[in-house]
Amino acid sequence: MKRHGMLNAPIAAVLAHMGHKDTLTIADAGLPIPYGVERIDLAIHKGFPSFLSVVEAVSADMHIEELILAEEIKTLNPTVHQAVLDQCPDILVTYVSHEVFKQLTQETQAVIRTGEVTPYANVIFVSNVNF
Residues belonging to the active site: 20
**What is the 3 state secondary structure string of the chain?**
CECCCCCCHHHHHHHHHCCCCCEEEEECCCCCCCCCCEEEECCCECCECCHHHHHHHHHCCECEEEEEEECCHHHHCHHHHHHHHHHCCCCEEEEECHHHHHHHHHHCCEEEECCCCCCCCCEEEEECCCC
